[in-house]
Structure formats: C-alpha cells, structure tokens
Amino acid sequence: MSTQLKDVLDAFRRHDVAAGGQGKMTVQQLCEVIKSLDPVRWTDAVVEEILGAAKAEKVFEGDHVPFEDLLQWLAGNAPSGDGDQAFMNKFSRQNAALGAEVTMKMTKMKALIVGCSGVAAEIAKNLVLQGLGGVTLVDPKSARIEDLGTNFFLSEADVGKPLGSTLVPRFKELNPFCDIKSADAISPELVAQHAVVLVCESMPLPELVKWNDFCRLQTPKPIAFLYVHTGGMFGNVFVDFGPAHVVHDDNGQRPMVRLVESIETGPEALVRLTVPDGQAPGSLPEGGYIEFADVKGCDGILTHEEASPCGDMVKAWKISSKPGDPINTIRIGDTSAFPPYVSGGMVTEKKVGKPYKFRSFAEALKNPGMPFDDLVGTDMINFGSELQTHLLLHAVLSLEAERGAAVGAADLAAVAAKAKELMASKDSEIDVDIDDEFATKYLRHFHTPLQPLCAFLGGIVAQEVVKIAGKFTPIPGWLHFNAVEALPKEQPSDCAPTGSRYDSLASVYGHAFVKKLGDLKYFMVGCGALGCEFLKNFALNGVCCGENGLLTVTDADRIELSNLTRQFLFREHNVGQPKSKAASAMAQVMNPGMKVRALEMFVGSKTEDHFNDAFWMGLDGVCNALDNMEARFYVDDQCVKYEKSLLESGTMGPAGNVDPIVPFKTQTYRDGGQADEGGGIPMCTLRNFPHLPDHCIEWARDQFELFFVKSAKQLKKFYEDPATFIDEMGSSTDMTQSIFEVRGLLSLLSAAENPSIKSAGQLAFDFFHFVFRDKIMDLVAAFPEDARVIDPETKQDKGPFWSGHKRFPLAATFNVENDTHWRFQVAATALFASMLGVVPPKQEGDDNWCKDFKSKAWVAAQVKDLAAPEYVSGGVNVEGDDAAGHSSKGSDAKAALQGLLERLGGYRDKPVPKLEEADFEKDDDFNFHIEFITVCSNLRADNYHIANSDFNQVKLVAGRIVPAIATTTAAVCGLVMLELFKLVSGCGTEGFRTRQIGLAVNTYTSFEAQEPKTFTSGVEKKVPRAEELPADAFDEAGNMKKEYILEEAYAAYPEKHSVWDKIRIPTGTMTLGGFRDWLASEHKVQLKNWSFVLGWKKVQDDDNKETRVPFSSQIYPPPVAIDATLLPPLEDAQGDAMKKIMGSTAIPQAQKMKYLSEWQNAKKTGKLPVSSGPSITLDMPLKDILALMEVRAEEALKDGTIHPKWGKAISGLADRKFWVIPSDQTPSCSTIVDEGQEPVDIRYMARLEVPLNE
C-alpha cells in the first residue's frame, strides 16, 4: 500500500477513535477526510467516481462506509489520479502498454505455478515484476547443478535444496507487494485459491486433462489453465480461459478517431470521414463499433444503442461497408428517423467485449486447428511444422503415460508408431506424414530445456496470464515454436555431462561451443530493460564467463522508480545508482565467473577517444540494448566500419523485433530502413485549431518550455545585448508570437524585481489571461463565429470558416470554483516561485513540496489581491492554414509591439534577475511539471470544447513515455540469444532470422535475414514533365517518344559492392597526387573532385523543422591559397586594385581573378583574409590532409559554423589506426575507359580506408 493510501487509512482510524470506534463513517465524512489530505489529486469528481464504483461492487451499502473494506478495495481499484502516484509512477511504462485498469486487475490476481523449471522462473519473474497480486510455487524437487543454466535465481549453494521454498525469498525481492509462497503439492483446495494455474513441468497426460477439467468447472468463474513445455529448440504452449471468456480489447491499440464530413439519411447510412491532424491513416475495423460526438443535426445519433457480441446493449453503432464504397467512409444503421446532418462531429472507435470460447486440453490436443488460422502460426519458412510438432507432442505424452517413463531420440520408432496410431484411431484429427529428421530433432532433447527458449516462452506465457484481464487476444489453444535452424548441423561429440552448470547447453552444442561463448569479448550498449535481460541471459549461458572473456557494458543513465517493473536486475535500494554497475553486479551474483566491465558513458562521436580503434577492433561482436534510433544508427555504422557483428532488437509495448547484423552476410540495420515515427501535428493546428485532446497536450508541453525555460533564456539574451534583442524581436516575421513573448518577459521582470509568493502568483495569473483569454479573443476578433472562407482568386464563397476540424473557441474567465482554473494557479505559482528562488528547489523524494498551495481556499485568498492584466491585441498567425489565408495581424499590433519593446528597454540598466530554469522531469509526480501540463492542456481543451485528459494520460503523451512491458522484453532477448548461438556456430546467411513478434495478437513472423544490398552500374531514365514538351513529342497513342526521354549512365565501383566493402589505400603517406594516380592505374578510376565533410550546419526547412546540412572543405583539385600580403591596400579604388593584381608577377595568371574577388570581399568587410593554415598540394600526404581537415573542423565548431548537436565529422586522428571515408562522402570520380568510349560518373563508390599509424 502506498504512503498516501496509508495516510487515508490513518485519517479514517483517527476519526473512528474520536467517534467511538465504530469502524464506519458517513459518506460525507469520508469525502471530507479524503479531500483534506490532497485536494489536487482527490477532487470532487475523483471521490465521487471512487465511491460510485465501490458502491456498485457492493463494497458498502447505505450511507455508512466500513473504511477497512473500502481501503482494501481502493488499493486495487482506485482510478488514475487517485493520489497513489508512486504506484502509478512505478508502472507508468507498463500502463502505457496495458492500461492502468489492467495493472490494477493484476494486483488482485494470484497464480499457481507447478514446477520451478527455467521457464517457470521466467514466467514468475515477469508476473511478479508486472504487479501480480500473488504467486504460489509448487516444486518440492531438489535443485540440480544443470538447473543453474536456466534458473537465474539459483546458485551452487542451492543444489540439493527444494526448488519451491528456495526460490520464494528471491522472487519477493522483485516486488515486496506480491504475496509469494510455496506449497509441496497441487490439490483441489490449493488450485481453487488462484485465478490461474500454470503447469511448467512434465506431468502425465491424464493428470493434465484432470486438472484442466477441474479448472474449467469452477464457479462462478473458471480458473485459467496454461501448460508450457520446452526442450532443445522446441516450445509448446497451451491456453484455456474457459468456455465464456470475454476479450474487451483485442489489440491494445488506441481507439481510432475520425472527423465527420457528412452523414446520409436512410438505411445503412453512409458516413464520410477525414483523418484528424496527427492521426495515422487507416480504416476502421469492419464489423467494429463507433461512438459519435459533437454532431450538429442528426438528433439522437449520439445516444443510439446496439447489442454487442456479448448480448448487452452498448451506446454505439456497428459499422459495415459495401463493395464500391468510397474511401474514408463507413456505413452505420438506419438514420431515417433522425433530422438531417448539419455539420461537425467526430467518431471514435469503441472497444466492445467479444466472447472468446476456449476448448479443453483434451479437445485441443485432439484437434489443434490449422496454422495461421485457429492454431497460432510461428513458422512461415517451414509451413506446417506446427502440426508436426503437435502430433509429436501428443505421441510423446501418450507414450510416456503408457510407459510411466521418459522417452528420447532412441524411441523415434515408437513415437512415430504412436503418432500413426493416434491418427488411425481418430484420437488425433491431424493428418500429416512424420518427418523422421524433424522428429529426431524434437525427441533428442525433449527433456533438455535451453535458456533462450525458457526466456522466450516465459515472456509469451506471462503475457497470456495478463490477457485474463480481457486485454489482447489470447492464444486460441496451442502455440508451437521451433528454431531448428539454430541447432548444430552435426551432433557434437563432446556432449556428455561433466557436472557443470552448462551441461544442458553442452548436451546440444558441445563443451567446445560453451568455451567459445565463455571466451567472447562483447560490447553491450545500454543497460535498461533489454540490457538487464541480456546480462541475465549471458550469465546463464556462460557468455563472457571464460578465462579470456570480457563483457563491456555502458549506460549513462541512473536507475529510476519506473524502471523496476521491467528492468529486473534492479531493486528499490538501487534507485539513483548507475544502471550499468548495479546490473553487472547482479549478473555476477548469477554467475560469479562472468567478466564484466561496467561504464557510465554514452556511445557516440564525442566518446570516440575512449571507444577507439583498438577497442572496437578487439571485440568479437556488439549487442545493442538501446531505445533510440540515433544511437542505434551510430553503433550500426561503427560495426560496419570495424566489420563487427551486431545483435539488434527493440520493443514497443507488446511488439518486438530481432535483427541480426553479420558482416558481409546480411544487410546492416540502416539498410533495413528507419522506423516510421508517425506524422506530426501541423503548427497551425497546435497554434489555433486543436480538435483532439492530444493536440492540447502537445501544445501544453510547449507552454511549459516557454514559461519555465525559454523565458529565462530570453532574459539572459536580452541582458547580454539589449539593443540586438529588441531589434530582433521588433523585426520578427511572427509579430503575434513576439507580442506574447514580450508581454511574458515584462511580467517576469516585474515579478523578479520583488520576488515573493505573491509576485509568483501574479505572474501565473498574468499568463492565464495571456494564453486562455487574450489569444482566444485575438482569434475570435480575426475570425468571428460567422466568418466565411472566400477564395482569394475567384472570390467564391467556400462556406463557413468554423467548420470541419475547426472549433469556434471561447475565451476563459478565471473562476476559482473551476477545478482546472485554481489548479493551474497552484501549479504555475509553484513553478514560477521556484524559478524566482522564493521557494527551495524541489528535492527528489519530497512529496510535500509546496503542499500549502494545494487548495482552492489558498487560491481564493491569493487571487483577491491579484489584478487581471489589461487585454492587448496581438493579432493571429494562421500561417500554414490555406483556408485562413495569409497571416492576419491586428491593425495596432505593430504599434503595440513597439510600445512593449520600449517598456522592455527600460530594464536594460536594472540588475540582472537570478532565474532558475525548470528541468522537465516526467517521473516526479509531485514537482508540478505534469500537473501544470495537465491543467494547461485542459484549459486549452475547455477553450475549444474538447474532452479533458487525466493526469496519467497527459504524462504518457507529454512525457513521450514509450510503452514497455517485461514480457515482450524477455521474449525478444530470448530470441536474440538464438542469433548469438548461430554467430558463434558460424551459421550462413540462410540460418539467421529477422523476427517480428506481437504478443497482443499472437503474431510470430520470421524471415531469413536478407543478404547485403549491392550496388551496380546502370542507366537512369529521366522523363520530363508532359506540359514542358511540344505536341509532337507524343505518338498517336499519347505515349512520350523515346528521343525525349533522357538516359544517363552511372557506375558503381567496385561493381556489386555492398556497404561492408572497402577500398583500402596502401599507405597514409601516399600523396594526394599519388592517390589520384593510384586510383587511375590500379582501379581505372579518375579523381574529379573531393570535398571533405567537416561537420554539419543547422538549418530550418520550409516547415520550420530542424535539419542538418554538410559543411565541407575542398581537397581536390587543390584549392587556391590566397597570400594576403599580395593583395592591394583596402584604401585603393577598385580600378587601381585591379591594375595592381593583373600586373603582379607574384600572382599566377590563373589565380588573378580569385585574388580580385578576395580583395573585393575584404573591401566590403574592411578586413583582409586570414590565412587558413597550410595549403593543400598534390605533394601533401593523405594523412597530413586528414590532420588538416581535423584542425579545420575544430575551428568550424568553435566559430559556430558546425552545430554542436552533431559535432565534428573527423576527430581523434592521433589515436586512430585508420580513417574511413563513408560511401556517401567519397570523392567524385568517373571511370577510365578505352579510347572512343565515354567515361561514366561513379554514383556508388565503396568506402575508402586510409591507414594512419602504420
């Protein structure tokens, strides 16, 4: 129970003692107690929602509430925003994927796990991390040494001890709120105490059927039953939630939202839709349900009800379509009884419960269904292998039940015979031919679990337990998985057990393979959720645990509370510690032989002095555990440069991917294409025309930055150079924004003159009116409610301006009785007070910071002494909105801005205020950051009649929180280990697998890794625009004639090279001229031009988006070096200067015009050119040229030409063994051909490698 819930319980108890110890209080008394503790979180609406839900579930009846019962219910059912923010913070990433309501349901769920095998440990770990209410472990068997290879919580000291009771205290470390215990045996009474039973050990077939039937017969609700088995490279999962399970959300995706353009009147009415700004395109699901909102006309369409698939009535419309319907349309039911549609409206997809009937274990064992239909498909390369696996499993279970003993590879004939018998007797409805080779692989290691499959299946099965809550689509019975491509081609000879923790692994791969794993030198980049799983997997499989092994782990982050639900190597006492060091220490507990070097460093161009050539060249491979594309691409580029393999993976909620990158065998990660990051929201929508809650949240996030960060930076800039600042503000192309920002700066300066809580409150009050009153009044003045859209060319009236996605806004009037208003005043006052230094900075863990501000009464007393600022017209910037025309500015806007700037200028000689910028932190729920954005977003929503958003929804969007859950992470990292095994085994390209998994909807696709993309010579056809050609350019059929189509040949060198290939220059001492001649003689390539990229400049495109442009320095042909001493005096007239230059014998004839141009530039600036250092000549060695480029890059960075965000493109040459010029920066060259042939420009050239320290 959280601290805040304990506070509520203590308050109840104090009241009860005072009232005579009845254990109850009235509803009204209860409300007052709750709200007195934290009125910001426990608002009237929240309290009413809690009590309404509690009463509906019969937690209490009548007017008196038993507070102990209520608190127990409240701990698992309180809606988001209930004050238990520490709990919500801890599960924030999980809630982003599952929803807070699912997390809360899990806290009341208990699981019975039978068998404590490696896969059982993985399942339990994932469930405990995700907040399950309780876990009971049943396994009295003694731990064996080989169990240490799959069960991460066992040590050598545990060998011989009972598994269940030994593991209980270890799992409690992961989540002290989870009730974890052990039992010696399964029994009906024990099973009945749990919501789900998971069988994770070998159990006789009759017993499996018996316990499954027992679970199905329980009332009022069946107990979920799951079975999992893994051996070798195979895994089998069975799921049964009973005959009446309901799926409330089959995919977990956010409901789609569409804007209404029109609604027909009649049966099966056609509704035309458009996609709102910032939403991904796509069709609403056929047969799905939608809700309407904000429709004008069609009275009654909002309250229409239909029967759901479960039979209950829901306020929604079922949608359909007909062949030939236009795109972006849906059909609903009969609208004949409604008045005609007028305008506006929005439809939102409604997730409606669907019945999901499961078959029993016996039924599904007999007929599992067909792959990719009613049997989960997992093997797209060997289609039908799932049926082979199922039949073999059925035969093995049946044979073992008959014999009472385990079977293995020696029993192939008996198993095959049993399979045929099952098919012949119709005890199995599968009809397939047994593949002896496949069956041998299945049987050989049937009772030998391997850690990668334990991790993978542990993620899948734990996710199925989550699905009991009704979220996501469950496995419809069976899932069968294999990775036979990862098995050694030949059975190793050194497989006999040696009494080692690696005996299971060695029984499949041999002890020599285990030693190779142990001696690996690997680099793991990142140590978050993926990194923790990888460290665990590496430790269990002995990776980097040998005498010569070493794992280098780096992560610059520190552990936060929200990490604990999925980064399982961390505990609450680790919060604040370096991730890499805490995780590495835990991994070494799992396997003391592990060699780890933990670093706290970013990996990028700025740390290449540490991660240098020697470091990269000494590695056997790299494993990424990153969460951003920029870092992924950088590491990918380094692996290409140094020809190192890369294990790449990622997760997004219940989805995950695996990408093995192998030098010269597969594509690189970059070749696979950049992930789609989704469409942005147009600036005009954010600025003036929001129509979705997300628009308001994104806008509010920008206001936080403007209020509490940018304003302080602007004042600093103003005091550094007042005249320039005022000039730039006055000449801004966005006068509307300038007026707003200068008004804000003046208010901030006024508050800073006499910093106090009152002045901070006035500042907050000013900004309330600037943003939610004045800006709206400006917009309404520019576009009244009856405004029309007039075509500027035809003058045609195109309809009302306020239509479609545009909502006519309403300016706010501050009202202390409005929760959102007074909460804004609280949050903004606290943050401005912190900026002004009148309250101490918020400290981590201080949940009572500025607590005195948190009441409506405090705000009411404060605003009595505050003055609302006078309205100043600022005009409206509608740039980017075609319907609105050009930017519209108030007639007096320019004069108003000049007046404001004059007032600002009056502060130039006053003391510089000390202002503390806010450092946005999304994971501290008591620092008012997310609170401010929440109320700011909702005030904006109220302006535009948009639905409000709650605290946790805002936190996810504004905090850019990436959905993350332990189950997906575990599954993905298990699959990555298979690719590592293939790398060490020397697998060919055909054996590597690129995988995409979706635990929400049971998609498991795998493809053979693609070979590297190669570059070849060719001819590009350039087709001119038809309107630019004469009429006779087309034949009678209207096709363009060939002679008008331009063809341009291009070359690739070397032919069919890939990104992995390099052209190695023999020596760095080769001169530029020698390099030119070497290309010509050895490669038949002519050097034409070489501009070396020093770094990148920052520019803004037409959409005001930041982009980078390369900044280069000329190498070939060697640029002309200007000797400033040969230039005429700047006092000379241009004619005299020209005569002197043209008559100078010291200036080469070919350079005279260059000198004249330099003199003219110097004349304008009044400064003679400064020597740029040594000049490049044909006799200059390549290594010296590169050194010169490094110097110039440093100079460009210092003078601001190169933007520091991207840094220099060349650095650290002194410690490098070689320098690689990327393929997109290689010199411009052409082919050298025989006489009579035309040279061809080389479009694609392999990288160039220049040796340095030879």
Ranges of H-type helices in 591-710: 613-617, 629-642, 683-687, 693-705
Bridge partners of residue 1242, in order along the sequence = 1051
d(CA 59, CA 80) in angstroms, rounded, equals: 19
Contact 248, 474 (CB under 8 A): no
Of the candidates 749, 739, 681, 686, the one whose C-alpha atom is nearest the C-alpha of residue 715 is 749
Contact 644, 664 (CB under 8 A): no
Query: In Å, how far from its chain's centre is CA 471?
Result: 21
| 3-state percent breakdown (helix, strand, coil) of the chain, nearest 5 | 40, 20, 40
Residues whose CB is less than 8 angstroms from the CB of residue 696 and which lie 6 or more positions away in sequence, other chains included: 690, 937, 938, 940, 941, 944, 946, 949
d(CA 994, CA 454) in angstroms, rounded, equals: 20
Residue showing tokens 């060997």? 382
d(CA 462, CA 466) in angstroms, rounded, equals: 7
Extract the tokens encoding 406: 């385990």
Longest dimension (CA), the chain: 113
Of the candidates 436, 948, 1066, 964, the one whose C-alpha atom is nearest the C-alpha of residue 693 is 948
Q: Which is the catalytic residue, given 215, 544, 545, 684?
A: 684
By three-state DSSP, how is residue 1088 classified? strand
The size of the chain, in residues, is 1254
Which helix (H) or strand (E) segment is 121 a member of?
helix 118-129
- 684 noted as active-site residue: yes
d(CA 1, CA 568) in angstroms, rounded, equals: 21
By three-state DSSP, how is residue 1133 classified? coil
Burial class (CB in 10 A: 0-12, 13-18, 19+), 1198: exposed
d(CA 642, CA 620) in angstroms, rounded, equals: 11
Of the candidates 159, 181, 158, 177, the one whose C-alpha atom is nearest the C-alpha of residue 169 is 181
Of the candidates 958, 954, 940, the one whose C-alpha atom is nearest the C-alpha of residue 775 is 940
Residues whose CB is less than 8 angstroms from the CB of residue 132 and which lie 6 or more positions away in sequence, other chains included: 106, 107, 109, 110, 111, 178, 465
Contact 152, 540 (CB under 8 A): yes
d(CA 1085, CA 1107) in angstroms, rounded, equals: 34
Of the candidates 484, 456, 382, the one whose C-alpha atom is nearest the C-alpha of residue 975 is 456
d(CA 146, CA 138) in angstroms, rounded, equals: 19
Of the candidates 520, 553, 519, 517, the one whose C-alpha atom is nearest the C-alpha of residue 535 is 553
d(CA 549, CA 533) in angstroms, rounded, equals: 19
d(CA 1211, CA 497) in angstroms, rounded, equals: 52
CA angle centred on 191, ends 188 and 193, rounded to 5°: 115
Is the backbone of residue 705 left (phi > 0), alpha (psi -120 to 50) or beta?
Answer: alpha
d(CA 487, CA 489) in angstroms, rounded, equals: 6
Of the candidates 1249, 1205, 1215, 1220, the one whose C-alpha atom is nearest the C-alpha of residue 610 is 1215
> What residue type is assigned to position 265 of the chain?
T
**What dihedral do alpha carbons 109, 115, 119, 124 form, nearest 10°?**
30
Contact 300, 292 (CB under 8 A): no
* Residues that are catalytic: 684
